[in-house]
């Protein structure tokens, strides 16, 4: 099928005009008129992901993170956008519009945690929801680590957690204000001053950027497979771009 058909489908699921002004979502490399029989779905477009596309004869990669973000000052042969263009592989990036979308990044994270009564926060991106039952803050942090299968960082208010605010990726600035109403917040990146800003008696958990977002690529793959049954959908999960030495 044509890449423009896949774009139109994703436009329905996660309208591109809802992306943040600073974002760079959309068809960033390639032609809407090109045809592809296969698509690779990934969180980031790395060299490994391009290799997966070449092996699977996919002429399209759908990623969450934009392959071109800051202004492109060079286009050298070792850069990924150059490689994509040379190989005739298009890049369709669904970033902050997918964070906000129904069943997008943050709904997937809420679903993983089994939150109930999930609602969109006033920022349009974060979600609020309740755990099926109240747990201690320490138990909540451990539950997040078990569910996301990753090491987490936590500042615990030694409180009881029932209402949870969350935003996958770099969302500490968004979830911190939600601690007014939530007992605990979960995001993927927390800066030093953001840890210090956790109100007393509240809990903040950093589950890592990759691990708080990666579930969405399986949702993207399901959407695409359902909408385009003849399309070969290849999920490239990858892993965190770092390892943890000491917890």
- Interface residues with Zn ion (CB under 5 A) are 169, 213
Are β-strands 184-187 and 160-167 bridged in parallel, bridged antiparallel, or unpaired?
A: parallel
What are the φ and ψ backbone dihedral angles of 217, each rounded to 5 degrees? Answer: -70, -30
- Of the two residues 95 and 202, which places its CB atom closer to Zn ion in the complex? 95
Smallest gap from Cβ 68 to Zn ion, in A, equals 15
Q: Please classify residue 76 by burial: count the beta carbons closer than 10 Å to its beta carbon, then call 0-12 exposed, 13-18 middle and 19+ buried.
A: exposed
Half-sphere exposure of 211 (CA within 13 A, CB side): 22
Q: Is the dihedral of CA 66, 39, 50, 74 positive or negative?
A: negative
- Of the two residues 21 and 196, which places its CB atom closer to Zn ion in the complex? 21
Q: Which residue is nearest to Zn ion (CB)?
A: 169
Q: Where are the alpha helices (DSSP H) in 34-91?
A: 47-55, 80-87
- Of the two residues 59 and 65, which places its CB atom closer to Zn ion in the complex? 65
Smallest gap from Cβ 45 to Zn ion, in A, equals 13
- Of the two residues 211 and 213, which places its CB atom closer to Zn ion in the complex? 213
Smallest gap from Cβ 151 to Zn ion, in A, equals 18
Compute the 3-state secondary structure of the chain and give helix, strand, coil in percent, each to the nearest 5: 35, 25, 40
- Of the two residues 2 and 153, which places its CB atom closer to Zn ion in the complex? 153
Smallest gap from Cβ 168 to Zn ion, in A, equals 7
Q: Which 3 state secondary structure label does DSSP give 8? A: helix
Smallest gap from Cβ 36 to Zn ion, in A, equals 25
Rounded CA separation 139/196 (Å): 21
- Of the two residues 109 and 131, which places its CB atom closer to Zn ion in the complex? 109
Smallest gap from Cβ 169 to Zn ion, in A, equals 3
């Amino acid at each position: 099928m044509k890449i423009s058909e896949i774009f139109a489908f994703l436009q329905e699921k996660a309208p591109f005009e809802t992306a943040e002004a600073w974002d760079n979502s959309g068809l960033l490399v390639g032609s809407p008129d090109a045809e592809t029989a296969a698509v690779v779905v990934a969180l980031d477009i790395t060299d490994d992901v391009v290799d997966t596309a070449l092996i699977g004869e996919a002429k399209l990669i759908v990623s969450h993170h934009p392959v071109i973000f800051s202004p492109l000052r060079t286009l050298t042969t070792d850069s990924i956008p150059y490689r994509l263009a040379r190989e005739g592989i298009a890049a369709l990036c669904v970033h902050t519009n997918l964070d906000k979308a129904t069943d997008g990044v943050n709904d997937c994270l809420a679903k993983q945690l089994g939150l109930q009564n999930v609602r969109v926060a006033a920022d349009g991106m974060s979600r609020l929801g309740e755990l099926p039952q109240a747990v201690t803050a320490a138990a909540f942090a451990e539950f997040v680590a078990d569910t996301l299968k990753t090491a987490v960082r936590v500042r615990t208010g030694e409180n009881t957690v029932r209402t949870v605010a969350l935003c996958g990726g770099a969302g500490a600035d968004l979830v911190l204000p939600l601690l007014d109403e939530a007992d605990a917040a979960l995001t993927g990146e927390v800066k030093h001053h953001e840890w210090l800003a956790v109100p007393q008696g509240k809990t903040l958990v950093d589950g890592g950027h990759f691990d708080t977002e990666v579930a969405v690529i399986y949702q993207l793959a399901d959407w695409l497979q359902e909408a385009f049954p003849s399309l070969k959908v290849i999920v490239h999960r990858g892993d965190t771009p770092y390892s943890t030495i000491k917890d």
